[in-house]
Amino acid sequence: MARTQIQADNSDERSLKQQFRRTRQLSQDLIAPLSEADALIQSMEDASPAKWHLAHTTWFFETFLLRDHASAYQLYDQAYPFLFNSYYEAEGDRMLRSRRGMLSRPSVDEILDWRRHVDASMEDLLDEPDCADLIALGIAHEQQHQELLLTDIKHALFQNPIGPAMWGQPQCSAEADDLGWHEHPGGIARIGHEGPDFAFDNEGPAHRVLLEPFAVADRLVTNGEWGDFIADGGYDDPALWLSDGWAWRNTHKISAPLYWRGTESFTHSGFQPRDPHAPVTHISYYEADAFASWAGARLPTEFEWEVIAQGQDRNDGNQLDQAGPPLPTGGRSLFGDCWQFTRSAYLPYPRFQPGAGAVGEYNGKFMSGQFVLKGASCATVRGHSRASYRNFFYPHQRWQFTGLRLAKDI
């Protein structure tokens, strides 16, 4: 299970109770611009409707906190566990993931009523020390779904030929400086989370790794640099691509990052002129690896990235602070703008053991066929990520804010 040591002092802005309330409110702020129809759209099986995210995060607190730790609590609706469980086999049968977009009922208002009921019922548990670990996990879980909500609705609105805007035009200007490098001499490094603060179970146990001398770029690859890759035939040169990536590129006729159209890119504010200085996003692992080969570099390993990030401010960079259009802007921080692909397979660390019970299904059972991404994105709630954080996606997926930072041997 996740670990945490958060004081329950209500006067502390960082207290568990304050975090819970802020997180629950942000989810509702994020869906405020959406119509009932918007909130129902499921554009592909990887994505979920916005209102399903509202409901599933509420199910999590009702199931693992209220049902199991509040003796007098009664389920709000007996049908909701079937409708809004995601992948927890220990919790029984559930709605097929591919059918979530068919849930025209309950309505958004009914789900919001349920959220208010659960939030009010949670108040007594927020002061219970024995529940602190699960509450912290529930908060982090909802923060993950807030990012998914943003990226899922972006993909859904993109399917509409008129390119509808969720928010008004963003007030952002990108910056990109000359490329520099963080150099590291190599040696034995300590990797993984340790200490009393919250972390997901897949971030540990802490262990040692041996690194050869390397360097990691001090900024992300930009749209302009990606344009040079395209102009130089990067999408047409099989020598740059992994075999599976080349097959994927040919099967799906891939010739640019997702959401690119001419000189524009689709955003939460509709189609906008693409800024060449902004970090490139919405690329797959296959594309990131091909670009790195074209650039005469490579992707970093997750260990290299983490060693460079240790001691840096995880709250730095362009991350999500409030409801509004997330948009990459660039900068020198290792955190923010987009999740960065590493060349590391998502596998368990030495001595890893998943937690007991249903919450043990949270991370461990997905350690197959995926790659680790590090950092945070412009749609990640500020403070959610950290140097040891291990995001993970399949190599073909690119609807998330995914980008790359180059690395090289020295």
Claim to verify: residue 154 and residue 196 sit in the same structural domain: no
247 in any annotated domain: yes
Per-residue model confidence (pLDDT) at position 361: 66
| Token reading at 317 | 């960079």
Per-residue model confidence (pLDDT) at position 2: 35
Claim to verify: residue 105 and residue 208 sit in the same structural domain: no
* Helices assigned H by DSSP within 98-221: 108-122, 132-158
Claim to verify: residue 143 and residue 263 sit in the same structural domain: no
Claim to verify: residue 133 and residue 193 sit in the same structural domain: no
Q: Which residues of 271-283 are buried (b: 16+ CB within 10 A; e: fewer)?
A: bbebbbbbbbbbb
- What would the pLDDT profile of 289-332 be if each residue is shown by its tens digit? 999 999 999 999 999 999 999 989 999 999 999 999 999 999 99
Q: How many percent of the chain have pLDDT more than 90? A: 89
Q: How far is CA 314 from the centre of its chain?
A: 15
Q: What is the CB neighbour count within 10 angstroms for residue 195? A: 11
164 in any annotated domain: no
379 in any annotated domain: yes
* Helices assigned H by DSSP within 165-214: none
Per-residue model confidence (pLDDT) at position 353: 87
169 in any annotated domain: no
76 in any annotated domain: yes
d(CA 409, CA 300): 10
- pLDDT category of residue 200 using cuts at 50, 70 and 90: very high
DSSP assigned state of 67: I
Claim to verify: residue 123 and residue 250 sit in the same structural domain: no
Range of the domain at 30: 16-158
Split into its structural domains, the chain has a count of 2
Claim to verify: residue 316 and residue 185 sit in the same structural domain: yes
d(CA 190, CA 226): 34
| Token reading at 333 | 């921080």
Query: Under 8 Å CB-to-CB from 252, ≥6 apart: which residues?
Result: none
pLDDT at 211 over 80: yes
357 in any annotated domain: yes
- DSSP strand pairing (181-184 vs 391-393): unpaired
304 in any annotated domain: yes
pLDDT at 262 over 60: yes
Computed over every residue of the chain, the mean pLDDT equals 93
Per-residue model confidence (pLDDT) at position 14: 66
Calculate helix-pair angle for 50-61, 132-158, nearest 10 degrees: 170
Residue 13, classed as helix, strand or coil, is coil
Please compute the mean of the pLDDT values over residues 209-219 and round it to a whole number.
98
- What would the pLDDT profile of 77-128 be if each residue is shown by its tens digit? 999 999 999 988 889 999 999 999 999 999 999 999 999 999 999 999 999 9
Per-residue model confidence (pLDDT) at position 300: 98
Query: Under 8 Å CB-to-CB from 27, ≥6 apart: which residues?
Result: 53, 54, 57, 142, 145, 146, 149
> Are 327 and 172 in contact, with CB atoms under 8 Å apart?
yes
Max CA-CA distance within the chain? Answer: 66
- pLDDT category of residue 174 using cuts at 50, 70 and 90: confident
Which amino acid is it at 37? A
Claim to verify: residue 138 and residue 212 sit in the same structural domain: no
> Are 405 and 281 in contact, with CB atoms under 8 Å apart?
no
Per-residue model confidence (pLDDT) at position 355: 76
Listing DSSP states for 288-346 in one string gives HHHHHHHTT-BPPPHHHHHHHHTTS-TT-SS-B-SSS-------S-SSSSEEEEEEEE-
Can you give the CATH number for the domain in which 353 is found?
3.90.1580.10
Please compute the mean of the pLDDT values over residues 189-202 and round it to a whole number.
94
pLDDT at 1 over 60: no
Please compute the mean of the pLDDT values over residues 51-55 and round it to a whole number.
98
Claim to verify: residue 247 and residue 118 sit in the same structural domain: no
| Token reading at 309 | 């990030």
Claim to verify: residue 219 and residue 365 sit in the same structural domain: yes
Q: Residue 29 half-sphere exposure, CB side, CA atoms within 13 Å?
A: 14
d(CA 55, CA 50): 9
d(CA 366, CA 267): 29
Per-residue model confidence (pLDDT) at position 10: 33
pLDDT at 6 over 90: no
Which of these three, 125, 143, 158, is where a domain ends? 158
Query: Under 8 Å CB-to-CB from 101, ≥6 apart: which residues?
Result: 40, 41, 42, 49
Please compute the mean of the pLDDT values over residues 240-253 and round it to a whole number.
98
Claim to verify: residue 185 and residue 146 sit in the same structural domain: no
pLDDT at 246 over 50: yes
Claim to verify: residue 218 and residue 268 sit in the same structural domain: yes
Please compute the mean of the pLDDT values over residues 28-53 and round it to a whole number.
97
Which of these three, 158, 190, 205, is where a domain ends? 158
- pLDDT category of residue 356 using cuts at 50, 70 and 90: confident
101 in any annotated domain: yes
Claim to verify: residue 211 and residue 154 sit in the same structural domain: no
The structure's pTM equals: 0.94
